[in-house]
Amino acid sequence: MSLRSDFIKYGRELFVSGLNNSHSGNMSILDGNNIYITGHGSQLGALSSSDIVCVDLNDTGKDEFASVEIVVHRAIYKMTEHKAIVHAHSPATVALSLDVEEILPQDEEGKFYFQSIPVIVAKDSIG
């Protein structure tokens, strides 16, 4: 499978699984100094090859058509060893995030992978 077909496949899976609504969420993959990211306004459940934008890890000059979350993706890539990011907006998780500061998995598999999941609020979104 190609990188673009993987984006299309997994974007559709996120939507069909109910982890995103029609326009929420974004995905990216780091390949060397290239970040392949879903484009601004794209629908993860109905991606096409043209919805995948290539930007530079260190240069913001080509960010215009990238997801507005490119700043966050770029920061994560620069500060971690991660090579891919999936940013979803599960309705249940969004609802929980309005009431708690961390999400604690209740099932054994969830606990195995995540001891706790912090709810993060962007500084400029705090009123």
User: Which pair of structure tokens corresponds to residue 80?
Assistant: 């971690």
Closest alpha carbon to 73 in 44, 116, 82? 82
In 3D space, the residue among 36, 30, 27, 32 whose CA is nearest the CA of residue 9 turns out to be 27
Cβ–Cβ < 8 Å for 87, 70 = no
For residue 14, what are its two tokens? 């996120």
Taking a C-beta distance cutoff of 8 angstroms, is the pair 116, 102 a contact? Answer: yes
Q: Clarify whether 109 is annotated catalytic.
A: no
Active-site residue identified among 69, 101, 102, 109: 69
Closest CA to 50 of 2, 4, 16, 1: 4
What residues are annotated to the active site? 69
